[in-house]
Amino acid sequence: MGGYPVCVPYALPELASAEESACMAYTAQETSAVLLQALQAQAADPDRMFGKETYELAMVAALSPQDRAVLGRWLAERIDAGDPVAAMTAGAGRLVELTEDLLRHQAANGGFGLSVRRALVALGHGRSVLPLLVLDAQVASPVRRMAAVIALGDIGLPLDSDRLTALLTALGDRSYLVQKAAFDVLVELSGVTQFVHEPGTSNPDLRSPLRQRLLLVCSDLKALRLPALAEMQDLFVHLHRGESPQSLGLAYVPTVAPELFHRLGSALFNANLQIPLESLLSLSGQERRYAETLLAVSLARHWEASPPALVALGTRWVVPALREAMAVEPVEPRFVEVAGRALAELESA
């Protein structure tokens, strides 16, 4: 087989410092052997593997068929030894020849078991491990719950009732990592991605109806979180039944420049800035609701400027949240006083 020049430091950036002075040409066969040795060396070095879920996939892709077979046998041994990185490498590297090795360990416990199941999802066997992934989404570790939720989404369409129930439950998780993962998966599987981004972009639009509810679902105040969670879960159930986003009120067209909300957001974190109340009073529809939502979620931080602004906007739906915020310790007497006046005004309105 003819050779061609390959600079090993360039092919293996992590080894560049050790090999820079000895860059030379290898045949394709020799290069593949070097890559295989480098993968095995990477596995033996905890420092180089810190924070990584897979061995270097670029190296895996560059292997010759012969060395790929050697790698497969090596990974199979490591999978049998309980190596989660080997399992994830098999999945992410699309090493379908290791499917049977993974299936033998599909019911394993802990992080290794979850890695095996995620690899099987990547190899097209997600439905065979679905019940186990549903259980993974309920474990103690929020990072593992998030990974399980993402894997539930990676199984793809159609979205069956068991997965839908698990994802709707994950929306109510107390970890933002899990909530956000469940939200993203449900948005994609429900086909409403365009309704949560700024028009014509991939930028999240916090003003959109679904993202507004997500802000409330992530609140520390139950009076905000629980009603919004119930609303969002109900919306995704209706979407799953085939109802259109438009019929559910999810279609949103911005009519106000985002700078107003940037000003409001800044004023909710900087006491030296004024809430642009006059401009907020001119808002209507979803944009009015978004302004109220931003003010409402700031109650959990006992932001003193928010209660009077909510009174000015006539936001009566925040009454339970005001009452709850006043009782959350520690709380300054000044906030209790301001919130108490706002509560009395809204209740008598």
pLDDT recorded at residue 255: 87
pLDDT recorded at residue 9: 34
**For residues 53-60, average pLDDT:** 85
List pLDDT tens digits, range 109-121. 999 999 999 999 9
pLDDT recorded at residue 59: 80
**For residues 90-106, average pLDDT:** 96
pLDDT recorded at residue 44: 78
Checking if the pLDDT of 263 tops 80, the result is yes
Collect all residues with Cβ–Cβ distance below 8 Å to 299 and sequence separation of at least 6: 221, 224, 306, 307, 318, 321, 322, 325, 339
149 and 140 in contact (C-beta within 8 Å)? no
List pLDDT tens digits, range 305-336. 999 999 999 999 999 999 999 999 999 999 99
Phi, psi of 253 (to 5 degrees): -120, 115
pLDDT recorded at residue 305: 97
Checking if the pLDDT of 155 tops 90, the result is yes
**Confidence grade of residue 13 (pLDDT, cut at 50, 70, 90):** very low
Sign of the C-alpha dihedral computed for residues 125, 127, 132 and 138 taken in this order: positive
CA 148 to mean position of chain CA atoms: 11
**For residues 260-285, average pLDDT:** 96
- CA proximity to 216, closest of 204, 232, 203, 202: 232
**For residues 246-252, average pLDDT:** 93
pLDDT recorded at residue 23: 34
Selected residue with higher pLDDT from 102 and 60: 102
Tell me the two tokens of residue 146: 């998030």
pLDDT recorded at residue 224: 98
- CA proximity to 102, closest of 110, 127, 86: 86
Average pLDDT, the chain: 89
Q: How far apart are CA 50 and CA 69, in angstroms?
A: 26
Q: Domain 131-201+226-242 maps to which CATH number in 1.10.3720.10, 3.40.50.1580, 1.25.10.10, 2.30.30.30?
A: 1.25.10.10
pLDDT recorded at residue 154: 97
Phi, psi of 203 (to 5 degrees): -80, 130
List pLDDT tens digits, range 128-150. 999 999 999 999 999 999 999 99
**For residues 34-41, average pLDDT:** 77
Selected residue with higher pLDDT from 49 and 209: 209
pLDDT recorded at residue 31: 63
Query: What is the CA angle 288-293-294, rounded to 5?
Result: 105
Q: How far apart are CA 347 and CA 316, in angstroms?
A: 7
Q: What pairs with residue 197 in β-bridges? A: 204
Domain ranges of the chain: 1-124, 131-201+226-242, 252-349
Provide, rounded to the nearest whole percent, the portion of the chain with pLDDT above 70.
91
Q: How far apart are CA 45 and CA 185, in angstroms?
A: 35
pLDDT recorded at residue 49: 76
Checking if the pLDDT of 68 tops 90, the result is no
Checking if the pLDDT of 27 tops 60, the result is no
